[in-house]
Structure 1
Amino acid sequence: MSAEILQRLSTLTLSVNHLSRLPRLSGLVSSSLPSPRPTVLASQVPALFQEPYILSGYRPIRQDWRCYLLSLFQRHNESLNVWTHLLAAPVLLLRWWANAGAVGYTLDAASLPLSLFMVSALTYLSLSVAAHLLQSHSERAHYFFFFMDYVGVAVYQYGCSLSHYFYTSEPAWRDSVGLVFLPGAAFFGWLSCAGCCFAKSRYERPYPLQRKICQLIPTSLAYVLDISPVVHHLLISSWAQEAFHALQIASFLFAAFFFSCPIPECFFPGRCDIVGQGHQVFHLFLSLCTLFQLEALFQDYARRRDTVVEVFGERQLWWACMSFPALFVCCVLTALVTMRLTNGKLLQKHKKLL
């Protein structure tokens, strides 16, 4: 009996010794996980990462990639730029689910443009989140992720164009602009991507006015064309019945203003480093624009889904929608070519420093 007791005591002692080592093991596990370093001042990061009038809240470069992923939960000057678009995606999905159930949505030729609009919206939101979350890793990462961000913007522009053309446009507008609308929208979508990539690669801080021109002119031309069927529709319809279309235009104009002007941080340098930057306000209005657009397009789809195939023909619907992945591929190739040229430029720059 005593031998059995001694054996049990021995087993218990071994178990206690084993448990006593667990904190040390957990400490080793936790220490193996990278932790984002504290944020630094603008003077402590290269000029490429510095934003006008934003004096602090920068993440140090060349940390482990996981540090930038974990910085999603860190307080820095890109936090709201990430979260505004990160939270917009599930809101859009919830509104899609609610609207789809309300109108009896089914995936077919008539609903394909609406589906591609949703894909384009989620694409630009996802690529924007990736750009603002990961760009601080290095100069190459900064350029690559923002080039892909421009791809997302171009894809979103064309997704809007497809939906506006098939669900919102009126016969009188199509008789005058319809033949060139989708080819023009695809071209200007690609041009906005190419213009933004070129401007990002070509000009260094402090950015000259030419950089903003290269970005804004192609993007503005694309928007003017993309929104033209909506404007025409509003001019001949009751604005009270088309409130979501009016709200999406108003939201976009506010977004464009805050994208173009560093307001309010230019009046309060250093006080908008974490909250209140113009780019954060731009993200907020752009997310609202997309949400209002989704609501408006579901209303248009509900009114016209029974006639859209009859009016446009199933073949035209399929061919038009096939141009969507084609534009995406063209924009990605443009971004990759520009990235290759930028890599050469960065290599030469580093050689000069050595």
Structure 2
Amino acid sequence: MSKHRKCLLVHQAKAENKTGLQTSTMLSWKLPRLLTIQQVPKVFHEDSILCGYRSPCSSATACILSLFQMTNETLNIWTHFIPALYFLWKMLSFLHSGFWDDPFLWPLLVFQLSCCIYPLASTCAHTFSVMSTKARHICFFLDYGAVSLYSLGAAIAYSAYVFPDRWVGGTFHRWYVPCAVMNTIICTALACYSRIPEVTRPRLSKMLRTTAFAYPYLFDSIPLFYRLFLCSGSGCALNAALPRHIWHSLLAFLTAFLFTTHLPERLAPGCFDFVGHSHQLFHVCGVMGTYIQMEVLIQDMNLRREWLMEKANSPSFSNTLGAWGVGMTMSILVIACFSLALYWKPLTQKKKRM
């Protein structure tokens, strides 16, 4: 018996059990039926995931109900929703400690805001992406924009707290945040564009999307990598925060590895459909890296505050909240353009036929 046939029989049995349970408990609703990879359009396919797909025409209610049903997306959703609540609590705690009275803390506020938005956007994308093909694209456009904003938030915090002493106030330091804003716009557009050849040229799509996520991280990390691996002597800001920076960097590379390789499900298709596939592990490693990054930024900020307050210009609104706001506005415009193109394309084809 093929894996696909086994998978279908297992899910039919589960559906029958659930239906019986719902009847016996007099529930007025039932969980959505799950499908196999052959039963959904190719645009909804996930590499080496054979079972547990939700209907590609689900209603918003069905999408929400699926949060309490084991599908191939359930853990993708909860592994970002719970961290989003934690990061929100963390940000609100800092806001109560007097952020607005101290401009030196504004970069940390921007970073924490970014940490709240990207897992929440991912949660919504994975929850509602099965409402339709267009909804799937738009949901992940927003997800990609949020990831790019997270990279911008990290760059703003790195500019304020992570630059090695000898680079503070230099040309690269002055242009670092404006370049990060441009990276946000370009990489949001590149990630959104990567969805266009996803079905016909999946390798190109994956390469473009990986570049859109990896490039901002590598650019943001230039001052950190210099401080960790190349800097020597005085002016390197060698302190107790460096080991945590290394742990965050290792988790970032592990996250990228999981995203690009689709391991372990590629080694055993169908065995990790619900628990343990690469996207779940990618989410877990990503939020763990974000948590460590937040903690080490706070540590670096506290350890270096006196020196930075004396030697560097105090963070301003324009290079913190202002820069992040510009990046967010431009990313929303990029996402709006790609989203509108999904609706203009059929009209253009119709005119050509006439």
User: Would you call these one fold, judging by a TM-score over 0.5?
Assistant: yes
Classify the TM-score, shorter chain: 0.7 to 0.9
* Separation of aligned partners in 1, 2:132 and 2:40: 10
RMSD across aligned C-alpha pairs, in angstroms?
A: 2.7
CA 1:204–1:55: 2 relative to 1, 3 Å: same
C-alpha contact (below 8 Å) 2:44/2:56 kept by paired residues: no
For 1:307-326, what aligned pairs fall within 5 Å after superposition?
308-314=308-314, 317-321=316-320, 322-326=322-326
Greater per-residue helix proportion: 1
Does 2:203 align with 1:209?
yes
- Of the candidates 84, 103, 108, which is equivalent to residue 109 of structure 1? 103
Does 2:76 align with 1:77?
no
Cα displacement string for residues 135-159 of structure 1 (whole angstroms, at most 9, x for unaligned residues): 0111111011100001101110000
Q: Counterpart of 2:13?
A: none
Does 2:244 align with 1:249?
no
CA 1:309–1:237: 2 relative to 1, 3 Å: closer
Q: Give the CA deviation at 1:100.
A: 8.5
TM normalised by structure 2 equals 0.82
C-alpha contact (below 8 Å) 2:181/2:326 kept by paired residues: no
Matched-pair identity in %: 27
C-alpha contact (below 8 Å) 1:55/1:270 kept by paired residues: yes
- Of the candidates 168, 178, 181, which is equivalent to residue 176 of structure 2? 181
CA 1:348–1:54: 2 relative to 1, 3 Å: farther
Structure 2 alignment gaps of length 5 or more: 1-25, 230-235
Does 2:127 align with 1:130?
no
Q: Give the CA deviation at 1:269.
A: 0.6
Q: Counterpart of 2:216?
A: 222
Greater Rg over alpha carbons, structure: 1
C-alpha contact (below 8 Å) 2:85/2:116 kept by paired residues: no
TM normalised by structure 1 equals 0.82
Q: Give the CA deviation at 1:303.
A: 2.2
Q: Give the CA deviation at 1:243.
A: 2.1
Q: Counterpart of 2:271?
A: 271
C-alpha contact (below 8 Å) 2:60/2:131 kept by paired residues: yes
* Separation of aligned partners in 2, 1:326 and 1:96: 21
CA 1:98–1:179: 2 relative to 1, 3 Å: closer
C-alpha contact (below 8 Å) 1:111/1:305 kept by paired residues: no
C-alpha contact (below 8 Å) 2:198/2:205 kept by paired residues: no
Q: Counterpart of 1:90?
A: 85
Does 2:170 align with 1:171?
no
* Separation of aligned partners in 1, 2:216 and 2:272: 31
C-alpha contact (below 8 Å) 1:164/1:226 kept by paired residues: yes
Q: Counterpart of 1:119?
A: 113
**Matched residue count:** 319
C-alpha contact (below 8 Å) 2:91/2:109 kept by paired residues: no
Q: Give the CA deviation at 1:241.
A: 4.4
C-alpha contact (below 8 Å) 1:239/1:246 kept by paired residues: no
For 1:145-156, what aligned pairs fall within 5 Å after superposition?
145-156=139-150
* Separation of aligned partners in 2, 1:349 and 1:304: 59
Structure 1 alignment gaps of length 5 or more: 1-26
* Separation of aligned partners in 2, 1:351 and 1:126: 39
- Of the candidates 57, 66, 72, which is equivalent to residue 61 of structure 2? 66
Question: Which has the larger displacement, 263-272 or 341-350?
Answer: 341-350
C-alpha contact (below 8 Å) 2:52/2:273 kept by paired residues: yes
**SS state at 1:136 partner:** coil
Q: Give the CA deviation at 1:92.
A: 3.1
C-alpha contact (below 8 Å) 2:147/2:213 kept by paired residues: no
Cα displacement string for residues 314-343 of structure 1 (whole angstroms, at most 9, x for unaligned residues): 4x5211020111110100110110011122
Q: Counterpart of 1:45?
A: 40
For 1:271-350, what aligned pairs fall within 5 Å after superposition?
271-306=271-306, 308-314=308-314, 317-321=316-320, 322-345=322-345
Q: Give the CA deviation at 1:345.
A: 3.3
Q: Which amino acid aligns with 1:148?
A: L
